[in-house]
Chains A and B, each alone.
Chain A
Amino acid sequence: MKLVLGPGLNFRPVEDSYYKVLLASTVIWGLIFLLPMIILAIFLASFEFPGVLLWVLAAVILVILLISFVFVKRRARAIGYVELENELVVRRGIFFQRLAVVPYGRMQQVNVSAGPLLNRFGLSEIELVTAAVTTNVKIPGIARTEAERLREKLTALGASQMEGL
């Protein structure tokens, strides 16, 4: 699974522990989908045509879950960012790869947030907001200190290079 976008850029990875967050959230989401399926399957407890579909569905979800386990580390490692002279470059994804370039002068807000999972591992997520909704750039899984540093830097750069729409 080669990361094809942005070769030659020295991406700074997110924290090593971020894969644990991905792992935990995968498990939680997996269970949310899997449990009702299994409970229903047990209640209906048949291996004939309509009932067996539930088992098949449960098996499929399980397989997807297992596959995602294999990839969490790589997914975490695929996230990276570079602070260039005029813009911030953020890369993410292994199957669906995306590389976004946000000029500092375009940033309207820099949001730092941390959900319960991220918080547990002492991590934060940083989100860049421009006038375009489609920008949609987030860097999850960076250390809180790093998030604060980035926010302050980006905000300062944004304010000094601020351009009209």
Chain B
Amino acid sequence: MSFEELNNGLKNTTADFSPHQFSVTESVAQQSDIKTVPEDQWRKFHPVTPVAYLGSFWIILIAFIFSGISSLAEEEGVMEGLMRLFSDEAGYYWFIFIAIALVVSIAIVFISWLLWRKMSYALLADGVHHRTGIIFKKHRQVRWDRIQTVEVEQKLFGRIFGFGSVKIDSAGTENVELGLLRLAECGALRAEILRVLNLARTGESFTVNYNPDLNQQQTVQLNGELPADIGSFSTVGNSLVTDELSGQSIGMQSIPVLDADDIENDRLVYELGFGRLFVASLTSGKFWILLLIVFPSVISLFTALEAGIFTSLIAVIGIVVSLVSSLLSDFGTRIYLSENGLRRRAGLTRLTTRTFPPARVHAIEISQQLLWRRWDWWSIKITVAGLNVLSDANQGSLNNFILAGKREEVMRLLWMMIPNLGVENNREFLKEAFEGLDSGKYFQGSPKSARIFDPVSLRGRGFFASEQVVVIRKGRFARSVAFILQDHTQSLSLETGPFKRRRGLVDISFHTVMGDVTTTAKHLDLEQMQSFFWEEVKLSTQARNEGISETLQVWRERVGV
């Protein structure tokens, strides 16, 4: 069951459960709720939209041709098969095939064109409206305060010709996709939606003021030098580090932002170069596991008879494709510091831009692959409220916030997401989090009695809680440090099994919204945890009551945007 189904499932139970429920979902209003939208408020998408629908048809077509060729080659051998493919006799079939493909293409474009004529969107005071359909008409409205994330997406067609679509995700239900639009228009539209929804959420009054024609003329502002005062955890609260870091622009040369959708004047705070992407992917554990799976196929590729060659080839290609596609999704990752949060832009064939408002980040996991130790690279994963709905399987969920960053870069991003760790000396604390073993000044390690469950990496395990964050450290040579924001934990639990109990061990789980961060601290001392657990319950209650998360305003001031 996918996350989306699960979410819908939850929503359905909500709907059935009458007067006592107090659900927070219910995002897309029912037909009857929607007030009529003045006809002149409706905007159209770009006329190229119907043509883009052809893309998926042609992909199917190409796959069909490829499977035809490979079956032909398997029957008759590679050379003979290819010969037959280009013989006169085959030419006739090619002609018919191409003719059919053309007719279908034209039909698809025509139908899409009819659909496109009825497609429009509107930004109004009561939300974003989107309507489609000729026979089955559909009018959807997403209220401003229900919008979870707004992203700009470009598929291959858009990448080549400079179009994109704006995807709006609201809790629980399907996304609203506004597109295609010109890329500059996408950027402006996203910026406007973000601006309004922030005002709507804080309860301020707002006017929707979106005029794409004006925005299109807006010039792209180039970014200047990065101000020296940009903060980072390692520079906070310790004068020693400031010397190390000052004047140093780690991986952040003054690169002008030339991308067409970057109309906000944002600061680039992280960039993944191709070299690092490549090396980091090749040295990741995932790659070696893949290699292990591919290996037999490669062997058979070299030893197999000609007849079987295509089957092995397809297997190898499939695996290479899956590797490359994971590489593609992280390609050229760039993180910008924008007014509305951290903006992530990544992907080669499918470029997505997503803004993560600081208050939506619930947990952050920073981890290091075994082979990355020499470069001190770390990757960041985050758990974001409302994101799981967006990341359906075929889209490849946002696995990495960044694939690999140097420690300074990672520290800076961490600082941008977490205001305060609740310790006096951040530097000392983080050093213990990233390098420490066993119990230390801050961390509570796992007892020796757990060695039987975890002989190698036990010493790396550790647990820490302040009023601001819970930090779970694990792994010894390949490490991972998870930060969970105290005021975002939903509930927590202690768990122990028969063997663990005998050794006086317990696991503690922090339940957060669905995301990529693992939030269980394993093999902790039962006796200590009994009292500590209630301490932690108190801390998180306190954190929620005080609301330790920053508002967007405070965040802006802190990071200086």
- A residues near B, CB below 8 A? 2, 4-7, 86-87, 95-103, 105-106, 108-111, 129-135, 137, 151-152, 155, 158-159, 162-163, 165
Contact = CB atoms under 8 A, between A and B. Distances in A.
Given A95-B498, A97-B495, A108-B23, A134 B17 contact: no
Nearest to B13: A111
Most chain B C-beta atoms within 10 Å of own C-beta, residue among A2, A101, A159: A101
Contact of A95 (B497, B526, B530): B497
Contacts of A129: 10
11 contacts: A95-B498, A96-B495, A100-B491, A101-B492, A103-B544, A108-B22, A129-B10, A130-B511, A134-B519, A135-B491, A135-B511
Contact of A99 (B10, B22, B494, B498): B494
A20 B438 CA distance: 47
Given A7-B530, A103-B541, A109 B493 contact: no
Given A5-B506, A106-B490, A131-B490, A155 B20 contact: yes
B22 A101 contact: no
Contacts of A162: 22
Given A109-B13, A131-B385, 17 more contacts: A4-B496, A5-B496, A97-B495, A101-B493, A101-B533, A102-B491, A109-B21, A110-B20, A110-B21, A111-B17, A129-B10, A131-B513, A132-B511, A132-B512, A151-B20, A155-B20, A165-B513
B148 to A, nearest CB: 10
Contacts of B17: 109, 111
List the 6 closest pairs (A to B, CB-CB), nearest first.
A132-B511, A132-B490, A100-B493, A130-B490, A102-B491, A134-B511
Contacts of B501: 2, 4, 97
Contacts of A133: 6, 514
A165 B496 contact: no
Interface of B: 6, 10, 13-14, 17, 20-24, 362, 385, 488, 490-498, 501, 506, 509, 511-514, 519, 526, 530, 533, 537, 540-541, 544
- Chain B contact residues, majority secondary structure: mixed
Contacts of B541: 86-87, 103
A98 B493 contact: yes
B14 A101 contact: no
Given A109-B17, A135-B490, A165-B488, A96 B22 contact: no
Contacts of B362: 165
A158 B24 CA distance: 12
Contacts of B492: 100-101
A134 B350 CA distance: 31
Contacts of A111: 13, 17
Contacts of A165: 24, 362, 385, 488, 490, 513
Given A4-B501, A109-B13, A99 B493 contact: yes
Most chain B C-beta atoms within 10 Å of own C-beta, residue among A7, A87, A103: A103
A103 B21 contact: no
Contact of A159 (B22, B493, B514, B533): B22
Contacts of A103: 491, 540-541, 544
